[in-house]
């Protein structure tokens, strides 16, 4: 094929493709959008807590030494609790100024963070550490692996509920059948507020009373949303 012929062939093919692309998309009739959900309350099985120390001193070096010693002691104690994961958190030092904007000292704060599925061990550690540290926060949640397992089950339930609702809609519209146009699946997660139960006395007078905690439950929701076309 000569070069001119190739050119004409290319132009003809391009025009044909453009004509196909320019054809309007045929509208779909009897299309309905809706959604269905599956929910489950799940026992929280993961604890997260944060404890901190905060000191003030005129010497930044003395302050840093006191903060670091306190955190190191806390981490050493935490290693005795095999079912609890502990790591260092934020550590910061900032200057303190008088009303005349003159440096008068330093304040330092450092924290450790606790994570565990063994609530009894974590509670015991928190009580022991509170003898020298302040409790900043405690929260409960569903562990990631537990949440994934529950979501997998709820996906099947949510899609089943979507199909059942599609069948109800088809019958209501007297359709012969329906065609699935699209389907989206998403999940949601809400945590219940933290509740404290009655505390129990610590075995040692040097420890703070150990908190008894109620983990509560969280709600996991999977939503199946999409559109179907009713076939008459």
Place of tokens 């930044």: 60
pLDDT at 4: 44
| pLDDT per position as a tens digit, 52-92 | 999 999 999 999 999 999 999 999 999 999 889 999 999 99
Domains and CATH numbers, the chain: 25-45+142-232 (3.30.110), 47-140 (3.30.70.360)
pTM for this entry: 0.72
**How confident is the model over 202-225, as pLDDT tens digits?**
444 455 676 677 888 999 999 999
């Amino acid at each position: 094929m000569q070069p001119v012929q190739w050119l004409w062939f290319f132009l003809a093919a391009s025009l044909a493709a453009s004509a196909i692309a320019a054809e309007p998309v045929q509208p779909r009739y009897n299309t309905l959008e809706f959604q269905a959900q599956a929910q489950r309350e799940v026992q929280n099985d993961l604890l997260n807590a944060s404890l901190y120390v905060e000191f003030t001193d005129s010497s930044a070096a003395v302050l840093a030494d006191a903060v670091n010693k306190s955190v190191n002691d806390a981490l050493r104690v935490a290693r005795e609790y095999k079912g609890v994961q502990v790591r260092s958190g934020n550590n910061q030092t900032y200057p303190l100024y008088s009303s005349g904007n003159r440096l008068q000292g330093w304040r330092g704060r450092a924290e450790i963070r606790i994570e565990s599925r063994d609530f009894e061990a974590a509670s015991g550690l928190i009580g022991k550490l509170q003898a020298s540290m302040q409790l900043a926060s405690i929260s409960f949640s569903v562990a990631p692996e537990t949440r994934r397992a529950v979501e997998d089950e709820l996906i099947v339930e949510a899609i089943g509920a979507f199909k059942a609702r599609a069948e109800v809609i088809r019958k209501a519209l007297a359709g012969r059948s329906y065609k699935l146009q699209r389907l989206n699946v998403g999940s949601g997660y809400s945590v219940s507020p933290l509740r404290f139960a009655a505390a129990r006395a610590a075995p040692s007078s040097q420890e703070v009373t150990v908190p008894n905690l109620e983990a509560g439950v969280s709600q996991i929701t999977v939503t199946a949303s999409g559109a179907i076309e009713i076939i008459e």
